[in-house]
Amino acid sequence: MSTKILTLKVIRAAIFIALMVAIVGSAITGYLLNKASNNPMKYGIVLDAGSSHTDLFVYEWPAEKQNDTGVIAQRHLCHVEGGGISSYKSSPSGAGESLRACMDKAKTIVPKDRWADTPLALGATAGMRLLEMSDSVAAKAVLSSVREVLDSSPFSYHEARIISGQEEGTYGWITANYFLYNFIQFTWLGTWQWTTSTKPIGALDLGGASTQITFMTEEPLQGSPDSLTIQLYGRKYHVYSHSYLCYGRDQAIKRFLSTLYKASPGAQVDNPCYPRFDSVAYNLSFIYDSPCTSDERPANYDPNRSVTFRGTADPAACINTISSIFKFSACSSPNCTFDGVWQPPVQGQFLAFSSFYHTMAAFNFTNPKPSLNEATVAFNYYCRKTWNEVKAQHPEVAAERLREHCFQAYYVYTLLIKGYKFDEESWKNINFQKEARGGELGWALGFMLNVTNMVPVEKLPDLFSTAIVGFSFVFHLAILLVVACVLYVVHYRSASAKDKRGDNHTVI
């Protein structure tokens, strides 16, 4: 048989084999795609009941899970109208009623046939922790109202409770790292796998009533109540997490005003953090209605007494007064932060969100972020302005928030630098963000990940959805290998034939 005829037959065979592989592969891929399209998504609903407001998050994830933990994405965010549920202490039934509009919205997001197996949970944070301290009866009534409304929904009601500060910090740490793919990554085979290429970052959260710092440590911290081990995606992580109650933005303002009033108890009090020529009046109940300040009430306390705070725009006095509300002298250890709390030195990258982000965003300092020195220079410049200058610079911002910008800037500076012990170098490792990869930063998604550990894996046929990309890749690779082998055989036979005829010769 001639080499030419042999080559032609081999090529025809290669084409036939490639077509057969393509037909079979396309059929199998079509089957997998059909299975994936029919594979229902799982859903979960979490309500983040903060001190100043409540947010409802709808999450979704495919039926298959990685090492017993769902791969979750944020589907919807609904802001509940009104204040936080703790603000309904005088009319507890209003707390539950305030949630109905967002709960109705969730019904339009989650398919009706998935309502019954969609877990629903509410976590209340520092606002409710404070209410429980000051009025446990009211706190129970508020939670009872919330539970009644949630339990009456068509979703699978899981729980409504006050979460601890450490839970809040830890779930926030999980959320930040989850959105940044620091736990798992999508591989070229179309599957998710645990990653060692990136190290989990730290999380800094500043809410209305508390602040949290959480970061990973190499080993468990022996004897520390702030050390814990988290298991996620089949791996263990050792973290340090501490929550400081009464050091959130809103409570810090009350404590700051209390400090000013105690120093000069009169009808008018100078406020060095307010712009010059600005003034605002507060009843003493606004300052002393919280467990964070109730111990500081004056002897002749009258909740209805009005006090006017006049802005003097004095940066040095502003930061000194802010520093005085921190108990830096509570311990002498170099690893002591404030209030006598022990903390290992900060290490690695950090993501700062919530009011940390909003404070820096007010100065357009989120991207790019200035150096620590540049930030303090800008704060100092801003905090010397008059009220008219400030309003002209930010006409879109409400007055009650605008006058707090200087205070918040120096408060964040004091908390991060003097409190958490960041310095010029480690400041560079802090990124201020509101969201990451389309998801809102906070503790809610971390809580949802914990909830999904109790959701059973779907039956085996539904596990094909994440294998589609991988199968397609392997299928096309097989075709290429077949064609390559055929071409090699053709080339080898052709070369052998030439050798036998003496066609090959060497050029010297």
The DSSP secondary-structure symbol of 202 reads E
Classify residue 106: in a domain, yes or no. Answer: yes
Interior CA angle at 240 toward 238 and 241, to 5°?
130
Give percent of the chain above pLDDT 90: 65
The pLDDT score that the predictor gives to residue 441 is 95
The pair of structure tokens assigned to 365 is 């300092």
Classify residue 166: in a domain, yes or no. Answer: no
298 and 404 inside one domain: yes
Mean pLDDT of the chain: 84
Please name which of 139, 136, 215 lies closest in space to residue 177, comparing C-alpha atoms. 215
Asked if 216 contacts 200 with a C-beta cutoff of 8 angstroms, the reply is yes
CATH of the domain at 152: 3.30.420.40
Q: Which residues span the domain enclosing 83?
A: 40-158
Q: How far apart are alpha carbons 203 and 213 in whole angstroms?
A: 6
**DSSP helix/strand/coil, 461:** helix
242 has pLDDT over 90: yes
Annotated catalytic residue within 60, 64, 168, 440: 168
92 and 8 inside one domain: no
10 and 141 inside one domain: no
Task: Give 88's contacts (C-beta < 8 A, 6+ positions apart).
Answer: 94, 95, 98, 142, 145
CA–CA distances in Å: residue 45 to residues 98, 144, 154: 16, 19, 12
Arithmetic mean of pLDDT, 376-400: 94
Arithmetic mean of pLDDT, 425-438: 94
Arithmetic mean of pLDDT, 340-362: 95
268 and 397 inside one domain: yes
The pLDDT score that the predictor gives to residue 491 is 58
Task: Give 285's contacts (C-beta < 8 A, 6+ positions apart).
Answer: 303, 304
Considering its fold, how many domains does the chain have in total? 3
Cα torsion through 363, 369, 371, 373, rounded to 10:
10
What element of type H or E holds 282?
strand 279-283
Arithmetic mean of pLDDT, 135-159: 97
The pair of structure tokens assigned to 305 is 């007494």
Classify residue 119: in a domain, yes or no. Answer: yes
Please name which of 172, 221, 216 lies closest in space to residue 198, comparing C-alpha atoms. 216
**DSSP helix/strand/coil, 245:** strand
Task: Provide the residue type at 57 as one letter.
Answer: F
One-letter-per-residue 3-state SS of 381-394? HHCCCEHHHHHHHC
Q: How confident is the model at residue 501 (pLDDT cuts 50, 70, 90)?
A: low
Please name which of 121, 117, 105, 123 lies closest in space to residue 155, comparing C-alpha atoms. 117
Classify residue 194: in a domain, yes or no. Answer: no
CATH of the domain at 407: 3.30.420.150
Please name which of 494, 505, 441 lies closest in space to residue 175, comparing C-alpha atoms. 441
In this structure, of 119-128, 241-250, 363-372, the range with the lowest mean pLDDT score is 363-372
30 and 138 inside one domain: no
Question: Which residues partner with 206 through β-bridges?
Answer: 211, 354
In this structure, of 69-73, 391-395, 426-430, the range with the lowest mean pLDDT score is 69-73
The pair of structure tokens assigned to 125 is 């944070």
Pick the residue with more confidence: 40 or 94?
A: 94
Classify residue 167: in a domain, yes or no. Answer: no
119 and 264 inside one domain: no
115 and 82 inside one domain: yes
Q: Any idea how long the chain is?
A: 508
Residues 442-464 pLDDT 10s = 999 988 877 666 433 333 233 33
DSSP states of 139-178 as a string?
Answer: HHHHHHHHHHHHHTSSSEEEEEEEPPHHHHHHHHHHHHHH
277 and 262 inside one domain: yes
- Alpha carbon 372 to chain centroid distance? 24
Residues 10-39 pLDDT 10s = 666 666 666 666 666 555 555 554 554 455
Classify residue 303: in a domain, yes or no. Answer: yes
Please report, in angstroms and rounded to a whole number, the separation of the first and last CA atoms in the chain.
33
Q: How far apart are alpha carbons 278 and 270 in whole angstroms?
A: 10
Classify residue 179: in a domain, yes or no. Answer: no
CB count within 10 Å of CB 8 equals: 12
192 has pLDDT over 60: no
Give the end of a domain, one of 421, 436, 451.
Answer: 436
Q: How far apart are alpha carbons 248 and 221 in whole angstroms?
A: 26
471 and 374 inside one domain: no
321 and 417 inside one domain: yes
189 has pLDDT over 50: no
Question: Which residues partner with 230 through β-bridges?
Answer: 237
Classify residue 215: in a domain, yes or no. Answer: no
Q: How far apart are alpha carbons 210 and 355 in whole angstroms?
A: 11
297 and 414 inside one domain: yes
Q: How far apart are alpha carbons 484 and 123 in whole angstroms?
A: 59
Residue 168 appears among annotated catalytic residues: yes
297 and 420 inside one domain: yes
Cα torsion through 75, 79, 84, 90, rounded to 10:
-120
Give percent of the chain above pLDDT 70: 76
**DSSP helix/strand/coil, 49:** strand
Residues 79-129 pLDDT 10s = 999 999 999 999 999 999 999 999 999 999 999 999 999 999 999 999 999
Asked if 356 contacts 205 with a C-beta cutoff of 8 angstroms, the reply is yes
The DSSP secondary-structure symbol of 333 reads -
Q: How far apart are alpha carbons 273 and 410 in whole angstroms?
A: 9
Arithmetic mean of pLDDT, 397-416: 95
Q: How far apart are alpha carbons 454 and 318 in whole angstroms?
A: 49
